[in-house]
Amino acid sequence: MDLANKYLGAREVTGVLITHSHADHFAGILGVVTVADVDSGKVPVLAPEHFVDEALNENVLAGNVMNRRATYMYGNLLKPSPTGIVTTGLGAALSMGTTGFIVPTVNICNSGEVHTIDGVEIEFQMTPGTEAPAEFVFYLPKFKALCMSEITSHHLHNVYTLRGAQVRDALAWSQQINESIELFGARLEIQFACHHWPIWGRVEALEYLSKQRDLYKFIHDQTLRLANKGFTKEEIAERVQLPEALGGEFYNRGYYGSLHHNTRAVYVKYLGYFDGNPSTLYALPQSESASAYVEYMGGVDAIMVRIKKDFLAGKYRWVAEVLNHVVMHNVELVEPRALLADTLEQLGYQSESAPWRNFFLCGALELRHGLPESSKYAASEGIAQGMPLKNLFQLMAVRLMPSKCEQLSLHINLQMTDSSSQWLLSIENSVLNAYENKQSATPTATLKSDTLSIKRMFFGLTSAVTLVQEDKLSVDGDLQALAVLGELFDAFPRRFPIVTPRVGDEAAMK
């Protein structure tokens, strides 16, 4: 905001468009508007339908593992240097600020919907299930300007993102770009997007849009052509090459997504993770097979003699595969661990995709220096305040530890003091269910509090005892039974090992 106000002239924010459900497009909202201005209706917040569920499910429900993998993808711990982080692929670097969330006040549901905000007419096209599960693009007739959100960018995007997310639909993606061409192509004079630079001129913009459309269509079609001939996803990834007309354009290069992992993603989207070969159907987890591989290969010393030759010959992909078994077999062996780090670095330097590079270099970093200081995963205060209770309870359900509640039958009536909202929270069969507008006739306990306090309590940002002392919580019923509540929920370590074996596996399983 400071940058925009400084260079474009200071002006008030009179509306916010959230184009899609990714954190880099919504989590900074508290930096541009206040909750009070949104609540009072002064500033409308427009977002695509299903935004709230998709934003919170993708970023919170699997949030800890996704965050951990994202540190690899975006190279947060790497230092900027020719042998460290160069870019994130999508941009120069990640924002390291705090996150926030506001429930939108206007849901955009239909293509062709027109809204006028502060005198500016905005025409929307829905593009769900493409780059993000909930997304729209929009056209500004007054300026003949098309904003493609993140549907197009100046590189090949991710059909599957390596931080981990559901696989995206490359065919729908391509079709949505085509629909944008049909809806706005005859009118636009400029095309811009949430990341990267605009394209001026209708002819130039249309050529760009059609080649981005065909990029995703080509990857989709050719993956399935080869899949239908019986090739596995790894074999397909080795074979698919872009034709010159597409691959020759800088904006179609794999700086962010790569052709190699996007083809595999299309395969998984249609056929799932199983390759159809029954020998892989019931495979051992690596923690169990690694030692057997090492033994069958003649032991660590024999492996090291041969693998050094392969390393010098530049067979880095193979060296990484073999040494991964050795490190998973015994992480204390310094020489294989160091050689694997050297190998991953070489793979990183050879990568066109920044996420690939960052993944390889972060793996090397973990092998050389171990894990950074860890703390328990916790949602930020900003997310806690904005998250609807429904999503909060779903997150609690994901944290429930079955070993702690095998015999447990708990029914808690929640009554909000700041709204008419009521919830029944029940734990039975080692499953937590939350029912809106429902109350138990024979509850274990009834809790009365305001919504924010309930949220903060369940997020661990405050405790029931503190809330009672502050007069923000009253409890009727079996206090003893409630005391157990604090023991039932798992905590997630923010920095778990990725290229080295986990320790304390037994505890983690419970």
- Of 101 and 311, which has the nearer Cβ to Zn ion? 101
User: Nearest distance from residue 185's CB to Zn ion, in Å?
Assistant: 24
Which among 21-29, 32-40, 335-343, 381-389 is the span making contact with Zn ion, rule CB under 5 A? Answer: 21-29
Contact mark string toward Zn ion, 219..238, x via CB under 5 A = --------------------
**In the beta sheet, which residues pair with residue 400?**
489
- Of 58 and 150, which has the nearer Cβ to Zn ion? 150
User: Nearest distance from residue 402's CB to Zn ion, in Å?
Assistant: 36
Which tokens sit at 59? 């970023």
The closest of 118, 155, 173 to 140, measured between CA atoms, is 118
C-alpha to C-alpha distance for 196 and 152, rounded to whole angstroms: 10
User: Nearest distance from residue 22's CB to Zn ion, in Å?
Assistant: 5
- Of 27 and 167, which has the nearer Cβ to Zn ion? 27
- Of 99 and 385, which has the nearer Cβ to Zn ion? 99
The closest of 24, 4, 22 to 94, measured between CA atoms, is 24
Residues in 302-331 at the binding interface with Zn ion, rule: CB under 5 A: none
Q: By CB under 5 A, tell whether 24 contacts Zn ion.
A: yes
User: Nearest distance from residue 229's CB to Zn ion, in Å?
Assistant: 35
- Of 24 and 478, which has the nearer Cβ to Zn ion? 24
Q: By CB under 5 A, tell whether 179 contacts Zn ion.
A: no
Which tokens sit at 332? 């204390």
Pairing of strands 106-108, 45-48: parallel
- Tell me which H or E stretch contains 204: helix 202-228
User: Nearest distance from residue 153's CB to Zn ion, in Å?
Assistant: 8
- Of 54 and 150, which has the nearer Cβ to Zn ion? 150
- Of 197 and 273, which has the nearer Cβ to Zn ion? 197
User: Nearest distance from residue 148's CB to Zn ion, in Å?
Assistant: 12
- Of 150 and 214, which has the nearer Cβ to Zn ion? 150
Cβ atoms of residues 19 and 128 within 8 Å = no
Length of the chain as a residue count = 510
User: Nearest distance from residue 149's CB to Zn ion, in Å?
Assistant: 9
**What is the DSSP code (8-state) at residue 149?**
T
User: Nearest distance from residue 65's CB to Zn ion, in Å?
Assistant: 20
Provide the 3-class DSSP secondary structure of residue 138: strand
User: Nearest distance from residue 24's CB to Zn ion, in Å?
Assistant: 4
Which among 24-32, 357-365, 447-455, 486-494 is the span making contact with Zn ion, rule CB under 5 A? Answer: 24-32
Question: For the packed helices 354-369 and 63-74, what is the interaxial angle rounded to 10 degrees?
Answer: 100
Q: Which residue is nearest to Zn ion (CB)?
A: 24
Provide the 3-class DSSP secondary structure of residue 121: strand
C-alpha to C-alpha distance for 145 and 8, rounded to whole angstroms: 18
- Of 24 and 53, which has the nearer Cβ to Zn ion? 24
The closest of 57, 48, 21 to 398, measured between CA atoms, is 57
Which among 20-28, 66-74, 267-275, 361-369 is the span making contact with Zn ion, rule CB under 5 A? Answer: 20-28
C-alpha 378, offset from chain centre? 16
User: Nearest distance from residue 201's CB to Zn ion, in Å?
Assistant: 25
User: Nearest distance from residue 25's CB to Zn ion, in Å?
Assistant: 5
- Total residues at interface with Zn ion (CB under 5 A): 2
The closest of 399, 405, 412, 403 to 484, measured between CA atoms, is 405
Amino acid at 101: F
- Of 37 and 131, which has the nearer Cβ to Zn ion? 131
Show the CA angle centred on residue 285, arms to residues 280 and 290, nearest 5°.
Answer: 105
Q: What Å distances lie between residue 153 and 198, 218, 294, CA to CA? A: 10, 17, 44
Cβ atoms of residues 13 and 102 within 8 Å = no
- Of 137 and 457, which has the nearer Cβ to Zn ion? 137
Which among 16-24, 151-159, 411-419, 501-509 is the span making contact with Zn ion, rule CB under 5 A? Answer: 16-24
- Tell me which H or E stretch contains 116: strand 114-117
Q: Which residue stretches of 63-169 are H helix? A: 63-74
Residues in 127-156 at the binding interface with Zn ion, rule: CB under 5 A: 150
What sign for the dihedral angle of Cα 129, 132, 136, 140?
negative
Long-range contacts of 280-287 (CB under 8 A, 24+ apart): 286/324, 286/325, 286/328, 287/328, 287/501, 287/502, 287/505
Residues in 261-280 at the binding interface with Zn ion, rule: CB under 5 A: none
Q: Which residues would be at the binding site for Zn ion (CB under 5 A)? A: 24, 150
